Amino acid sequence: MRKKVLGVLLSTAMVATAFTGCGGSDSTSSSTTGGNTTTDTTATSGEDTSSSAATSTSEVENVVSGDAAAEDAFVVWGWNDDIKNILDNEYKEANPDDYARIVFVNTGGSDVYQTKIDEMLNDESNELYPDVMGLEVDYVKKYVNSDSLLSADDLGITADDTANMYQYNKDLGTDADGKMKAFFWQATPGCYQIRADLAKKYLGTTDPAELQDKYFSSWDNMIAAAKTVNDASKGKVKLLSGYTDVFRTFSNSRTTGWYDGDDKITIDPNMEEYMEVAKQFYEGDLTFNTDQWTDDWNANMEGDGKKSNAALAYSGCPWFTYWCLKDVWKGNTILVNGPQQFYWGGTGLSATKGCADTELAGRMIKWITCDVDALVAINKRSSDFVNNTEALAQIQKSNATCDWLFKGAKQNVIEFYLPLADSIDASTSTAEDQTINDLWASQVKEYVQGNVDADTAIEDFKASVHDTYDYLS
- Per-residue model confidence as pLDDT tens digits over 351-370: 999 999 999 999 999 999 99
Comparing 166-180, 328-342, 387-401, the range with the smallest average pLDDT is 387-401
On whether the CB atoms of residues 409 and 206 are closer than 8 A, the answer is yes
Q: What pLDDT shows up at residue 399?
A: 67
CATH number of the structural domain spanning residue 258: 3.40.190.10
d(CA 30, CA 181): 34
- Per-residue model confidence as pLDDT tens digits over 176-191: 999 999 999 999 999 9
List, in sequence order, every residue forming a beta bridge with 238; answer none if it has no partner.
311
Q: How confident is the model at residue 58 (pLDDT cuts 50, 70, 90)?
A: low
d(CA 468, CA 358): 35
- Round the average pLDDT of the chain to a whole number and report it: 88
Q: What pLDDT shows up at residue 52?
A: 37
On whether the CB atoms of residues 351 and 132 are closer than 8 A, the answer is yes
- Per-residue model confidence as pLDDT tens digits over 62-88: 999 999 999 999 999 999 999 999 999
Between strands 183-184 and 310-311, the pairing is unpaired
Please check whether residues 82 and 165 belong to one and the same domain.
yes
Domain range for residue 419? 191-344+402-468
- Per-residue model confidence as pLDDT tens digits over 2-34: 322 322 222 222 223 222 333 333 332 232 223
Please check whether residues 350 and 340 belong to one and the same domain.
no
Please check whether residues 247 and 385 belong to one and the same domain.
no
10 Å CB burial of residue 210 (0-12, 13-18, 19+) is middle
On whether the CB atoms of residues 99 and 159 are closer than 8 A, the answer is no
Q: What pLDDT shows up at residue 265?
A: 98
The answer to the question of residue 13 being in a domain is no
Please check whether residues 171 and 257 belong to one and the same domain.
no
The answer to the question of residue 415 being in a domain is yes
Please check whether residues 207 and 139 belong to one and the same domain.
no
Q: Is the pTM of this model over 0.75?
A: yes
Please check whether residues 303 and 451 belong to one and the same domain.
yes
% of the chain with per-residue pLDDT over 70: 87
Angle CA(179)–CA(181)–CA(184) in degrees, nearest 5? 125
Please check whether residues 180 and 202 belong to one and the same domain.
no
User: Domain count of the chain?
Assistant: 2
Q: What pLDDT shows up at residue 30?
A: 30
Residues constituting the chain: 473
Please check whether residues 420 and 389 belong to one and the same domain.
no
Please check whether residues 336 and 350 belong to one and the same domain.
no
